[in-house]
Amino acid sequence: MEHTTILDEAWLRLATLAARPDAAAIRPLFAADPDRARRFTATLDDLTVDVSKTAIDGEALVALLDLAHEAGVEGFRRRLFAGAAVNATEGRAAMHMALRAPADAGLHAALPDGIDDASARAAAERDRMRDFVARVHDGTLRGATGQVFDTVLNIGIGGSDLGPRMATEALTLAHGARLRARFLSNVDGTGFAALARELDPARTLVLVASKTFTTLETMENAQAARAWLAGALGEPAVGGHFAALSTNLKAVAAFGIAPGQVFGFRDWVGGRYSLWSPVGLSIALAAGWDTFQALLDGGRAMDLHFRDADFAANLPVLLALVDVWHINVMGYRNHCVLAYDDRLRRFPAYLQQLEMESNGKSVALDGRPVGRATCPVIFGEPGTDAQHSFMQLVHQGTQVVPVDFLLAALPDHDRPAAHLVLAANAFAQAEALLRGRTEAEIRAELAAGGMPPAAIDAAAPHRVFSGDRPSTTILFRRLDAFTLGRLIALYEHKVAVLGAIWGINSFDQWGVELGKVLAGGILPELKRGAKRGVHDGSTAALIARFKDLRGEA
């Protein structure tokens, strides 16, 4: 009870700061503190996180750090790395850090039947993956017709698609791929129809990514790919053209995949944290093993930083505290991610699952309502594209939307002038959100341009930018595999810290289950002549109309 009281007091201190008349003001903080940018920037080697363009001042930062301590984040961090069952509702550890650690790292995960040497187990499976990738790349492992594979098709959904797709695009766009990578997630048949027109079955290696090998959308697509391949090459070809990223050996064998082409992982790996596991096999096949290993090494570097660094200089903790300030203190309900790098065009989509599936919770660990806001809505696009779509709302809309800007200092292309234009836009967008434009400034500018006073009166209000809109800028030397690994792990650990502060379980996702169950019941009803089930009036009417439009009423 005493801890709860102290924690409540920590939240109360933040509420008191929020009640200040100038709580949302950012520009005055720079005027009062010329050294603000340095004091509110933290680094890990070249990776630089600048949170100075937020309304957090020294007093607020102290209060936020106190909140983290009182919420038990240090204890949570110890339990996380000790392999305790931090996923309390499922009784599991969250030991994805072991996937990017060396075999002798000593990371263990609690299991119902004992303790798993997670880092050793992950390294052993990684060795099998590396051997498989080498045999594909050197042509030892070929298709049924004797041709080398030139394409890897990854079939999965959720974490079995978003992470590998994002990382593969990021790591192959600039320098090309060892194998073309294609991804199929949506069960909508048009997706596979388009791929089937593009791909040569004789040179396509198909990965089926489903831990249970029962995921409805994934298995529907896998069966379509199987029929396509068998139809072109014959049934015996299936085994040589498929690999499974799964632990259900019986179902995999029934599908026709040999045990030597099955790669598994344990329950201490959640789907949205699985790109580091065999689920990332498409990354290694497309970008090369050394690149995949560098991705793991970058994640490992962030793990060690998060585990060891003091909270005041800890990048994941710092990002989490900024989110707490924006969500719980300032009441902001949306968060925008702008990566000024086309290779990171899928990064916001990846973060949508990581953040909203992890922390989109309203129930605390003790089963009671959380009592405060948790995860915001995450959205984003690459800069500069976003500047010509939704950034109008971010600059002048009625709601304040904090923004993360991500930018590399050095490009990986031969157009350095274009990169400077890109960087100038990133810096300018962040500065514009901070500075804004007053009506007096606009009037003076329009008058200097010769606009008549009456026209100025009409035009000026529409051109006002309020400013004082917060952003965080994340800079790094260049976007290579090591840096991408650090960025992904940075956001992973930020999400976990937020869950610890809010007292929720960031590692389960029960909210996705009900729709799956109901879909399984509705599916038989959609067949011709099937009886109608019991539904609400709207769903029943929509099913009837759907069948009518199909001529099956």
**Looking at the predicted structure, is the pLDDT value of residue 344 above 80?**
yes
For the chain, give the number of residues: 553
Percentages helix, strand, coil for the chain (3-state, rounded to 5) are 55, 10, 30
CB 397, CB 465: distance < 8 Å: no
Average pLDDT, stretch 30-43?
A: 96
Distance CA 89, CA 14 (A): 30
Q: What percent of the chain has pLDDT over 90?
A: 94
Per-residue pLDDT band for 174 (boundaries 50, 70, 90) equals: confident
CB contact set of 112 (below 8 Å; sequence gap of 6+): 91
**Looking at the predicted structure, is the pLDDT value of residue 35 above 60?**
yes
User: Residue 411 phi/psi, 5° resolution?
Assistant: -85, 170
pLDDT of residue 3: 53
**Which residue among the candidates 2, 250, 388, 462 is catalytic per the annotation?**
388
R_g (Cα) of the chain, nearest Å: 26
| Fold assignment, 107-294 | Rossmann fold (3.40.50)
Q: What is the sign, positive or negative, of the torsion defined by CA atoms of 357, 361, 367, 370?
A: positive
**Looking at the predicted structure, is the pLDDT value of residue 2 above 60?**
no
CB contact set of 343 (below 8 Å; sequence gap of 6+): 169, 170, 171, 173, 174, 479
Average pLDDT, stretch 187-204?
A: 97
The Cβ of residue 47 has, within 10 Å, a number of other Cβ atoms equal to: 20
- 3-class DSSP state for residue 31? helix
Query: Which residue type occupies 277?
Result: S
**Which residue among the candidates 169, 357, 381, 492 is catalytic per the annotation?**
357
Q: With residue 263 as reference, give the H or E element that holds it.
A: strand 262-263
Q: At what angle do helices 58-70 and 73-82 cross, to 10 degrees?
A: 50
Q: At what angle do helices 481-502 and 58-70 cross, to 10 degrees?
A: 70
Distance CA 553, CA 546 (A): 8
**Which residue among the candidates 3, 175, 413, 516 is catalytic per the annotation?**
516
The Cβ of residue 532 has, within 10 Å, a number of other Cβ atoms equal to: 10
Q: Are strands 471-476 and 47-50 parallel, antiparallel or unpaired?
A: antiparallel
Residue 505's Cβ-side half-sphere holds a number of Cα atoms within 13 Å equal to 21
Query: Which residue type occupies 57?
Result: D
Question: Each residue of 113-143: pLDDT tens digit?
Answer: 789 999 999 999 999 999 999 999 999 999 9
**Looking at the predicted structure, is the pLDDT value of residue 1 above 70?**
no
Query: Which residue type occupies 258?
Result: A
Per-residue pLDDT band for 484 (boundaries 50, 70, 90) equals: very high
Whole-model pTM above 0.85? Answer: yes
Average pLDDT, stretch 265-276?
A: 94
Is 357 an annotated catalytic residue? yes
Is 53 an annotated catalytic residue? no
Average pLDDT, stretch 296-318?
A: 98
Q: List the helix and strand counts (H, then E) for the chain.
A: 23, 13
Average pLDDT, stretch 132-161?
A: 97
CB 292, CB 177: distance < 8 Å: no
Q: Which CATH superfamily is domain 2-33+42-71+309-424+473-506 in?
A: Glucose-6-phosphate isomerase like protein; domain 1 (3.40.50.10490)
User: Residue 501 phi/psi, 5° resolution?
Assistant: -65, -40
CB 468, CB 55: distance < 8 Å: yes
